[in-house]
Structure 1
Amino acid sequence: MDKVHYYSTSNQDISLIQAQYQEFAFQRHYHLDFHIGLITQGQQKFVYKGTSYHAGAGQVVIMPPDELHDGHSNLKSGYQVNVFSVSPQWFQDLAAPKAINHTLSFSELILSDHKTFSQLHRLHELLVSQNVSQLAKDCLPFEGLSTIVDRYAQYVSKSKLQLGNQSVQTLKEYLMANLDQPVRLEQLSDLCDLSTNQFQRHFKNKMGMTPYAWLSRLRMEQSMRLIKSGVCGTEVAHQVGFYDQAHFSKAFKAAFCISPSKIS
């Protein structure tokens, strides 16, 4: 049976997931944040950059933002995972001044590090607990997540992925500002000073998915952020371009294995 619980924290840059997945399979998708998953039981299988990976109990998966991957159980019995969803900017701030003019990433995708796993597992438990003071919850992420930054962070020069005469980041910002609008292919190709065919070809080559699929996921990622910030489902649906609450709820559940009304 699939069971998923999402938790907000006092820091809007950090949220938590506790989940048991058995039948649910994540299709190819990306996140806007880092997802740090602690496999507590079973085995997860996923494809990342064309390579298939397995992660089992006691291992940590660090999935960077904007990278395509899928995910499903490697066993009929399913797998259980605790996840930290952390904004890239929070990690950048944590690493400063080392990250000035550089982008923070991690040297390993899967960590087989018992000490790190135990520390992060304990941190997740404390942030979910009702018996921990608010000040402690405010301070604990800095202490707990510093571990993986100190041990596994690497810093690479900032670079812009180009599509025509625009960066992908500029394109993302444009779409984020127009999620509630019926965006047309011509608008995107004109923005990049490319023909529609050139734009689609370059986009698919660089991003690994169609512009429509990319925009659809961007809408889902933003809807999750809005739901967790307390915006009601009907308003969220309108803000991300759905004019029918039923269709929005169906798309949301297909993406996250949970209804928007169940997000705490």
Structure 2
Amino acid sequence: MKKNDEVIYDAKFWKPDINEDIVLHKAHFSNYGFDKHVHEDYTIGLITEGRMDAFVDGGKQELNKSTIITINPDETHACQTKHSKGYTHYSIYLKPNFVKKLEEENFNKQELYFSSGIFQNEYLANRLINILKLNESNQSTKIDFECEVVNTINSLFENNSKIKQVPSFTSHDNMINRAKEYINDNLSFDLQLGDISDELDISKYHFLRLFKEKTFLSPHSYLMIKRIEKSKQLLQKGESLINTAHMCGFNDQSHLNRRFKLATGITPGNYKKFFH
């Protein structure tokens, strides 16, 4: 392998002292990327160095340092290094409960979601990056960090959000939502494609095509992603690796390790260490 083709992934996770509903992430990538996936949290991404290609809002985008990436829960997205030099970025993961509290206090209890996955605003991007750098290096007090992060996230929602309306679902939308609920309710089981399609009373081939058309993911990929998301929650709470593997439907700890590293770039054991 040539030197400039070397795969590099260096990451860290941490929680600020002020809130259990926020997780912060910093990583440097070179010749590395993540396939299409979803998160259960609201996600804010910021590039500090380099450029990246991303799959956001249903299409491919090239992103730079003035870009703020804003992803709603369960929205499909992906990222890949643009050049061999790679890129460095921060991510802010906000639990829905945290966003709900912000909405209740600042937006007349209206439920909001990010209206676009890509928001170009150099001022807000630099402000968020500065906040995160100070927190990472322990150079900000708790009250300074909390005030700054809340005010800046409020500004982001003010400029890049829409009120979440009660949608008029089509029969296909309802079917996909039912499939997602079934998958989430049965993560610990060895699900087969036929189990889900039988629940929906349609052929498995029709379901497979429909699910991918609506989510950009295969049902198997979605199942694995949701298992990883659940494993993150358990590991943050201090659950053992072997119990996490069992509770999330992995065959064994080795299966968890392989899938977790493929999805996050690090092992579940190293991920757990960031929080304990």
Q: Tell me, in whole angstroms, the C-alpha distance in 1 between the residues paired with 2:107 and 2:201.
A: 36
The question of whether the paired residues in 1 share the 8 Å contact of 2:31 and 2:83 is answered with no
The question of whether the paired residues in 2 share the 8 Å contact of 1:163 and 1:199 is answered with no
Q: Normalising by structure 2, what TM-score?
A: 0.83
Report how far residue 167 of structure 1 moved.
Answer: 5.2
Deviation track 1:34-82 (CA, whole Å, cap 9, x = no partner) reads: 2211110000111234532111123221123322222111111110001
Q: Tell me, in whole angstroms, the C-alpha distance in 1 between the residues paired with 2:130 and 2:16.
A: 15
Q: Normalising by structure 1, what TM-score?
A: 0.87
The question of whether the paired residues in 2 share the 8 Å contact of 1:92 and 1:99 is answered with no
Identity %: 25
2:67 to 41, 49, 59: 59
Say whether 1:42 aligns with 2:50.
yes
The question of whether the paired residues in 2 share the 8 Å contact of 1:5 and 1:17 is answered with yes
Instruction: Output aligned runs, 1:221-236, within 5 Å.
Output: 221-236=229-244
Q: 1:233 to 1:79 in 2, by over 3 A?
A: same
2:161 aligns with 153
Q: Secondary structure at the match of 1:2?
A: strand
Report how far residue 224 of structure 1 moved.
Answer: 1.7
Report how far residue 25 of structure 1 moved.
Answer: 1.3
Instruction: Output aligned runs, 1:197-216, within 5 Å.
Output: 197-216=205-224
Aligned residue pairs, count: 263
Say whether 1:185 aligns with 2:211.
no
Say whether 1:257 aligns with 2:265.
yes
Deviation track 1:203-234 (CA, whole Å, cap 9, x = no partner) reads: 22222222111111111122122222322222
The question of whether the paired residues in 1 share the 8 Å contact of 2:124 and 2:156 is answered with yes
Instruction: Output aligned runs, 1:60-79, within 5 Å.
Output: 60-79=68-87
2:5 aligns with none
Name the amino acid aligned to 1:223. S
Q: Tell me, in whole angstroms, the C-alpha distance in 2 between the residues paired with 1:160 and 1:193.
A: 22
Q: Which runs of 5+ in 1 are unaligned?
A: none
Name the amino acid aligned to 2:150. F
Q: Tell me, in whole angstroms, the C-alpha distance in 1 between the residues paired with 2:33 and 2:40.
A: 19
Q: Higher mean Cα deviation, 214-223 or 122-131?
A: 122-131
